A and B are shown apart, each in its own frame.
Chain A
Amino acid sequence: MLFNSIDFVVFFPVIFVLYWLLNNRALKFQNLLIVVASYIFYGWWDWRFLFLIFLSTVIDFFIGLKLFKEDNLRRRKILLWLSVIVNLGLLGIFKYYNFFLENFISAFLFFGAKIEVRSLNIILPVGISFYTFQTLSYSIDIYKRKFKATKDFIAFSAFVSFFPQLVAGPIERATNLLPQFLSNRKFSYNNAVDGMRQILWGLFKKVVIADNCAKYANIIFNNSEDYNGSTLVLGALFFTFQIYGDFSGYSDIAIGTARLFGFNLKKNFAFPYFSRDIAEFWRRWHISLSTWFRDYLYIPLGGSRGNTWIGVRNILVIFIISGLWHGANWTFIIWGILNALYFLPLLILKKNRKNLNTVASGKFLPSLVEIFKMLLTFVLTVIAWVFFRAKNVSHAWNYLSEIFSISLFEIPSIKQGISNSFFIILLVIIFMFIEWIGRVYSHTLEHLELRITKPFRWGFYTFLAFLIFFYSGDESQNFIYFQF
């Protein structure tokens, strides 16, 4: 089920009312309702893959219990590896099997050996990369004695399958989310209103910004050979805002929805396009994944401790794996490497933790130096996004080659299909302006009640809702991150 679908408009209020009606009864019933709702939510897309979530839940629940009781280090390690193998095994089969197989075949062919192995004709289950990472973190945390295993299977199932964040994150840690399933939730008016605001802004980002940018990005990327450099820049910019609106919009809706049910999910985006260097960008983009890699891969590998080369190696490893996490394609791996290359000079010069505060904090406008830094970071990000969006590496290469040619200085060609893009560009500018104003808050519209008066606030909500409605007629577009 998509957040931006009529199905969800019906599903959500029904579950919301039932949920709070159960408030005064047993907590278990409320959690059970979440599990049932989550399975319906997921099964709406494809019920056949529900067994994968269930399998992951059952295995990690029992491994968690065993791990918690077990004192023998060797047995603990075996249990941990069992959880890792099952979770990553599922991911490997569904997501990476064909990719690695094709590359093995190509490698063997390169050396003159022809091998014949059958590829699997399977579709990628939505959200598999998200929930497997979530359950994996539970086992690892118990192994590290950071967290007690729960004996409440329903609460654990609700933690794994919690519908707002099931298919595209934020990737929650058991340490944050699971305890919330084990204690009573209370309805808070302020929390609920703020959640609604976040949902509204998330829908605006997805339906108005991302889906409209997607139209033009698709036209330009799919016919890139027909366009000059300046138009290709426009295409890359459209994709840059599409992916931000799409993914951060999803996160906002997920976090807002969870708040309506009395849960606090982790922040996943913190205005990344206002970053002053790539290190800051990665502290602000897909935070739940970056911190997952930091805690479960980068730090165990040694992090930035030890000599510089170990730090360089670790950065390369996490960025390559992060790229691969996004998809089984060389374009994602190169996207990861490119980001690592952007990051490494900062690490070597020990400047990767320089910009920890919000840009232009306490001021309305940034300084010229800050503008320059933000622009530079933004340009580097846009270049990397070309690899992320391109069909394959040669497509990305040709795309960038044309951008960095003399045709960059030509007027963008307004051909059929992209001639109406002016209004969307205007909307993106207004959108980024509002984001700039809201950058000091945890989400753009947070505490709006303290910033503008009620009539203006309600007028603003109505206008946003109108724009969402106005652009919602096109076939509902899937969220990009569903495929990951």
Chain B
Amino acid sequence: MPVPLTARLRALVGAEGVVDRPEALAVYECDGYTLARAAPEVVVLPRTPAEVAAVVRLLAEARVAFVPRGAGTGLSGGTLPIAAPVMVCTSRLREIERIDVGNRRLVAQAGVVNQWVSDAVRAHGLCYAPDPSSQPACTIGGNVAENSGGPHTLKYGVTTNHVLGVELVLASGEVVQLGGMVEDRPGYDLTGLVVGAEGTFGIVTRATLRLTRLPAAWRTLLAVFASVDAASEAVSAIIAAGIVPAALEMMDRLIVRAVEAAYGAGLPAEAGAVLLVEIDGPAAGLDAQAARIEALCRAHGATEVRRARDAAERAALWKCRKRAFGAVGRLAPNYCTQDGVVPRTRVPEVMRAIAAAAERYRLRIGNVFHAGDGNIHPILLFDERDRDEVARVLAAGRDILEACVALGGSLTGEHGIGVEKAAQMPLLFAPDDLLAMTRLRAVFDPEGRSNPHKIFPDAKVCVETRTPRRQAAL
């Protein structure tokens, strides 16, 4: 990095907005995906969207590649700098610029934390629907890049369904306003293309979000089953009954035991699987629907069904699900969360494939996941000091994703491809499919300077694979 560039960056964003001391850069050497690490040469933290544009213009003049980063909670290594000396962090763009309650819209800068959006509008009976588990930390900019999901996406959709427009700084430094406050703009759906592009189209500095009315009421049930198969059949029965729950989450035996050991929630230790079901909407009919769900669970072998009677009991039921990751932390020094998707009827099969991988690679693997979406999250336990075990974790992860694809699913439901899964993209997409994607990449970033070497199998992961730390919970 030529010194004059760093000096010019300081001139643009202030001395405190440029980090280049090696010990300070260590913070930025990985995100939530810790199995690969690389520190950037310099980190820039602009204060405003205009400063982001100025920084990117400067980098364009110097023809320097860069990596956009929000809060660094991503789980696929999307912010790992590979042949990109500069990291541009949007975490200081923290302003909610516009709240339009009547039209149910909100304009947030990229560094606004997901949770702040819902907090800002709750008093008006509204919320921002996508709720990734990292929502107290992750930013809107990162959510847009990854097209983030969460437990409530079954009914409410993912990020792309709630983003109406973005301000995008292209790698050239040019700023474009795509979409906006109003629906149905003529032209290609550029906003829809930018969401989920993992920062390879440029840096999103602002997003126009759709706000959702808070449900008038909800019912939450927790059902205990002897096996994942039985719980999966109950899921299918609920869907077949024409019910679309707001959330349908499953935990398997290992996770249930871990939760029980850690928190003593009173779950039976012999439970093979626990299903958490939440329905919401107008109060009328919810009780009848909850009764129906309970009956369906029992008909499919549920040994116990608990129904939350108030907000405190609801929180207690959700605690089992939300604390699963913390509980797993007690079972092993480290864990790695995978993210794959299968058609929801294939959940029992993919669970068997995961069990087979656990056996094959002598690993313990637990499962806590979005059963309604078929979005699995196997948690692979390991000890980072055991190099052989780390290698087996990586191999088992690959096998599990291959099983997902073979069952008609996908490599990722909400964590993104990043560097983690780039090499496996050809499992899912033929050369012509990938060519169409790289064509689109070249439209937005012809020089390939925004987040290079991500998503596509040419990714040169020439980074140090060091001892991993514990991965952040999804």
A associates with B: no
Q: Which residues of B approach A to under 8 Å, CB–CB? A: none
